[in-house]
A and B are shown apart, each in its own frame.
Chain A
Amino acid sequence: AQTVTQSQPEMSVQEAETVTLSCTYDTSESDYYLFWYKQPPSRQMILVIRQEAYKQQNATENRFSVNFQKAAKSFSLKISDSQLGDAAMYFCAYSFAGGTSYGKLTFGQGTILTVHP
């Protein structure tokens, strides 16, 4: 069974600084996808970034980038130039890519990110 581990229950960062959230996963599959989702307090969960396991290049979306280390099964999220609006619970998630016509997400336990002005 796949597992996703986020070892940092809480993190904090000063506005405009950079923070990295950690995620490790365990799978025996070779074709899978990894995601970071953001859930602000009392607001909707939204996708931050997506990484395809077969791509060596790390995904980037504006101020958000990942460090994907496939051999180490590590998938960290770097937030640059942190903004107050980045404060949220961040979930790392895994999805096996093949075999079914739907995705079954395995979530980590989440990291609460606080941004200080």
Chain B
Amino acid sequence: DTEVTQTPKHLVMGMTNKKSLKCEQHMGHRAMYWYKQKAKKPPELMFVYSYEKLSINESVPSRFSPECPNSSLLNLHLHALQPEDSALYLCASSQADRGAYEQYFGPGTRLTVT
């Protein structure tokens, strides 16, 4: 099974809402990633978890809050977002132990902030 799943596929939320994005993988990967991607642009790294510990936070605003409850799950909690946060949010996973391993991407959650 080489699949990364993400739910929901689409999300529309107001600026005062609280919502969560979910990502799951069962490949035994111990590194998981959140990316933000605008149309026709490359993904921008937001967070990296390695062995369930936050390893990288790329200066992401606090209205985005990641969580890694276990080695298979990754959540992204959203609160008080801005319209400019509308984007495709991608989750990825990889084997840990160096940066040698390819990342497997999920299909993404398309987020619209109104």
Contact = CB atoms under 8 A, between A and B. Distances in A.
B42 A103 contact: no
Given A44-B106, A52-B100, A95-B100, A104 B48 contact: yes
Chain A contact patch, size range: 20 to 34
Interface stretch (A18-26, A76-84, A107-115): A107-115
A100 B55 contact: yes
Contact of B40 (A32, A44, A46, A89): A89
B107 A103 contact: no
A44 B105 contact: yes
Main SS at interface, chain B: loop
16 contacts: A35-B102, A44-B107, A45-B43, A47-B102, A50-B102, A95-B100, A97-B98, A100-B98, A101-B31, A101-B50, A101-B97, A102-B31, A102-B94, A103-B101, A109-B42, A110-B41
Interface of B: 30-31, 33, 40-43, 45, 48, 50-51, 55-56, 90, 94, 96-108
